[in-house]
């Protein structure tokens, strides 16, 4: 019925609801300082709902990515091979297992660039950024082209024409 922040305010709200005939009880968990302490509502919600739900979503996402990559990345040509290898490198570079598998490369100075998180970061910074820039240029050109068509009167579909 309304948000309460202290035990006293909660008790007042409960008393008002009881006068209306409602059966209300207050839990045993601590009130106030909702971010600190061992038995708080905030931590209970976080550990009881958010953490299991986020783990479930991550697991479902992993299965979705695995099935989608199986269907999409059937290695038929060189481009599909590059896409598959870069996808595997990015997935392994983003999880602790990838850093663990290639931790030995950090001990050898001339092989330190083979560390999977470094490769993954390079893939994000250079090839991925180039693709994002190309998409933004395409969007910009599309906006300019559509704007010119509207300004010059060539495009009339927004007024109900063909």
pLDDT band at 2 (very low <50, low <70, confident <90, very high): very low
Q: Which of 10-19, 21-30, 51-60, 118-127 has the lowest mean pLDDT?
A: 21-30
pLDDT band at 142 (very low <50, low <70, confident <90, very high): very high
Alpha-carbon distance of 119 to 89, in angstroms, equals: 7
Alpha-carbon distance of 133 to 64, in angstroms, equals: 27
150 in Cβ contact with 158 (< 8 Å)? yes
pLDDT band at 1 (very low <50, low <70, confident <90, very high): very low
Do residues 98 and 117 both lie within one domain? yes
Print the domain residue range for 3. 1-32
Do residues 104 and 65 both lie within one domain? yes
Which pLDDT score is estimated for 87? 82
Alpha-carbon distance of 7 to 85, in angstroms, equals: 57
Which pLDDT score is estimated for 3? 52
Do residues 120 and 134 both lie within one domain? yes
Q: 3-class DSSP state for residue 155?
A: coil
Do residues 46 and 122 both lie within one domain? yes
Alpha-carbon distance of 103 to 7, in angstroms, equals: 52
pTM of the predicted structure, to 2 decimals: 0.49
Structure tokens at 136: 């933004």
Which pLDDT score is estimated for 25? 65
What is the number of residues in the chain? 162
Burial class (CB in 10 A: 0-12, 13-18, 19+), 116: buried
User: How many domains, in total, are found in the chain?
Assistant: 2
Do residues 27 and 55 both lie within one domain? no
Do residues 140 and 64 both lie within one domain? yes
Beta bridge partners of 40: 30
pLDDT band at 130 (very low <50, low <70, confident <90, very high): very high
What mean pLDDT comes out for the span 24-35? 55
Do residues 5 and 64 both lie within one domain? no
Structure tokens at 35: 């971010």
Do residues 59 and 126 both lie within one domain? yes
Do residues 143 and 114 both lie within one domain? yes
More confident site: 36 or 150 = 150
Do residues 21 and 83 both lie within one domain? no
What mean pLDDT comes out for the span 32-57? 72
Do residues 28 and 98 both lie within one domain? no
Do residues 109 and 131 both lie within one domain? yes
Q: Work out the percent of the chain whose per-residue pLDDT is above 70.
A: 80
Write down the mean pLDDT value for the chain.
Answer: 79
The model's pLDDT over 86-114, given as tens digits with 9 standing for 90+, comes to 888 888 888 888 888 888 888 888 888 88
């Amino acid at each position: 019925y309304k948000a309460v922040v202290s035990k006293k305010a909660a008790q007042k709200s409960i008393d008002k609801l009881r006068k209306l005939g409602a059966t209300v009880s207050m839990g045993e968990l601590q009130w106030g300082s909702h971010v600190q302490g061992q038995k708080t509502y905030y931590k209970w919600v976080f550990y009881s709902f958010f953490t299991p739900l986020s783990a479930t979503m991550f697991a479902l996402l992993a299965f979705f990515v695995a099935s989608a990559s199986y269907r999409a990345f059937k290695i038929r040509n060189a481009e599909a091979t590059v896409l598959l290898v870069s996808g595997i490198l990015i997935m392994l570079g983003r999880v602790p297992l990838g850093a663990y598998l290639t931790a030995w490369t950090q001990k050898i100075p001339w092989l330190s660039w083979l560390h999977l998180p470094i490769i993954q970061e390079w893939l994000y910074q250079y090839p991925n950024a180039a693709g994002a820039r190309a998409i933004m240029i395409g969007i910009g050109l599309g906006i300019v082209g559509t704007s010119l068509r509207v300004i010059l009167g060539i495009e009339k579909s927004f007024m109900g024409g063909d």
